[in-house]
Amino acid sequence: MSTAYKTVTDIAGPLLMVEGVEGVTYDELCEIEMTDGSKRLGKVLESRKGVAVVQLFESAQGATTEGTKVRFLGRTFQLPVSEDMLGRIFDGSGNPIDGGPSIVPEKKLDINGNPINPASREFPEDFIQTGISTIDVLNTLVRGQKLPIFSGAGLPHSQIAAQIARQARVLTEKEVAEGKAGESTTEAEGKFAVVFAAMGVTFEEARFFQNEFEKTGALSRAVLFLNTADNPVAERIATPRLALTAAEYLAYEKDYHVTVIITDMTNYCEALREISAARKEVPGRRGYPGYLYTDLATIYERAGRIKGKKGSITQIPILTMPEDDVTHPIPDLTGYITEGQIRLDRGLHQKGIYPPVIPMGSLSRLKGKAQGNGVTREDHSGMDAQLTAAYARGTEVRELAVILGESSLSDTDKAYLKFADRFEKEFIKQGENENRSIFDSLQIGWNLLTELPKNELKRVKSEHIEKYLPSSKTSTEPVAA
């Protein structure tokens, strides 16, 4: 029987200071018994010289220095895991909240995961289709990659997250060979799963995510962890780790290809800052703890592929940039750790364009490995470069037209201006439930390139132009500058 300590000397927010402890280790799980007999869980944040700092996973309301008992359990926070987790919804502490029974676990895993030897990692190189053109063609998601979405307050990142979770899938070899994606098939998706974690969201957002999964039938291949804004702030620290622990079990022990979507990392970092302030730590940039980079890395680096394992973990963390500031510590540090970012643009959103993914400012550093013959289609890489360059030129011409007037533009500039307008309305813009295959998205791109003269198509191969470009609509003569 473990010892129950009654030596709580100080309470600061979700933190308890316990003195006179022996043999207590960092991250050890503990049970806090309140004066009314109720019990809550916590973990050791710090232990030195007989003093332990305990962080509650639940509210500290009702805790007092007199009568509160702390019992250290000699183990870390563990998540019971089983394939039965698929189709279930849990809170931020790993407890079922969907009215179903408790999980009968095959095993219990430490939520902090096991360190992965870098030498055992395989390079991400397989394509994941999200059904969103601006991601699939221009910022291709690669299996085993960590690719965050940089959003802002009021932008539809929740809808995009739900859409990716519903639509994300891998293509079969037959679909790639035929250049045509069929309907969702057991062959393609039998070992594809989604783990979704929401932190600090409102009750309405939590219901939105739950309803989106349920009404589309995507819940059967998903595991949801929902932490709402009224839940204890300390629970937000555990939520992404619970989700990743479930993902690691499904990927590395059950051979699933798992896509992990985490929203909102800004709420996670705010929780980290609140706890750091309660511990009276010396603050870093904008009040965030100096170890913010290291802490974020412990989450982001749990994505990837491992040699000898059939499964993989692909991670899509979502964060809202305070005041749309990309230099804020959260997006800044996230960009250093992850392999690119998908940037949402407020200007596109104000035009009524969904999803407002802006090609400039977005980047997938690993996309070259998931583009081309045998993975998607032979023209993918060139189409990516051509569309991005043409849209960038079109936006420059649009700004120039505001100053000089459209009548002062050359015929080539007018062609780029028309291309940019169509690109936003036909390529970027799509419905929340519109699931485009990569082949459909590429064909839309070729149709848009008919607005430009062939001599301007310098980033796609001539044989691809002859094969895929609807030539009847495109001039073969150079347009006068």
Average pLDDT of the segment spanning 378-399: 95
Look at residue 82 in the predicted model and tell me its pLDDT.
Answer: 94
> CA-to-CA distance for 363 and 145, rounded, in angstroms?
12
Which of these three, 343, 369, 395, is where a domain ends?
369
Residue-wise pLDDT tens digits, 402-446: 988 888 889 999 999 999 999 999 999 999 989 999 999 999 999
Residue-wise pLDDT tens digits, 37-55: 888 888 898 888 889 999 8
Residues linked to residue 51 through DSSP beta bridges, in sequence order: 19, 48
If asked whether residues 306 and 394 sit together in one domain, one would say no
- Kindly state whether residue 211 falls inside one of the protein's structural domains: yes
Which of these three, 369, 400, 427, is where a domain ends?
369
If asked whether residues 300 and 204 sit together in one domain, one would say yes
Return the structure tokens found at 222: 């998903």
If asked whether residues 350 and 405 sit together in one domain, one would say no
Question: Does residue 253 have a pLDDT over 90?
Answer: yes
If asked whether residues 64 and 190 sit together in one domain, one would say no
Average pLDDT of the segment spanning 92-116: 89
Look at residue 190 in the predicted model and tell me its pLDDT.
Answer: 53
If asked whether residues 99 and 68 sit together in one domain, one would say no
- Kindly state whether residue 480 falls inside one of the protein's structural domains: no
If asked whether residues 432 and 413 sit together in one domain, one would say yes
If asked whether residues 33 and 17 sit together in one domain, one would say yes
Classify burial at 57, counting beta carbons within 10 Å of its beta carbon; exposed 0-12, middle 13-18, buried 19 or more: buried
If asked whether residues 359 and 385 sit together in one domain, one would say no
Average pLDDT of the segment spanning 230-259: 92
- Kindly state whether residue 478 falls inside one of the protein's structural domains: no
Which of these three, 369, 389, 408, is where a domain ends?
369
- Kindly state whether residue 47 falls inside one of the protein's structural domains: yes
Residue-wise pLDDT tens digits, 344-388: 999 999 999 999 999 998 999 999 889 988 899 999 999 999 999
If asked whether residues 148 and 43 sit together in one domain, one would say no
Average pLDDT of the segment spanning 53-59: 83
CATH of residue 51: 2.40.30.20
Distances (CA, A) of 471 to 360, 446, 451: 28, 10, 11
- Kindly state whether residue 45 falls inside one of the protein's structural domains: yes
If asked whether residues 455 and 321 sit together in one domain, one would say no
If asked whether residues 323 and 238 sit together in one domain, one would say yes
Look at residue 182 in the predicted model and tell me its pLDDT.
Answer: 66
Residue-wise pLDDT tens digits, 126-184: 899 999 999 999 999 999 999 999 999 999 998 998 898 888 888 888 888 887 776 55
If asked whether residues 65 and 83 sit together in one domain, one would say no
Q: 36-40, 89-93, 260-264, 292-296 — which is least confidently predicted?
A: 36-40
Q: Provide the number of structural domains found in the chain.
A: 3
What residue numbers bound the domain in which 221 lies? 79-369
- Kindly state whether residue 321 falls inside one of the protein's structural domains: yes
Look at residue 222 in the predicted model and tell me its pLDDT.
Answer: 92
CATH of residue 179: 3.40.50.12240
- Kindly state whether residue 479 falls inside one of the protein's structural domains: no
Residue-wise pLDDT tens digits, 181-196: 765 544 344 588 999 9
pTM over 0.85: yes
- Kindly state whether residue 481 falls inside one of the protein's structural domains: no
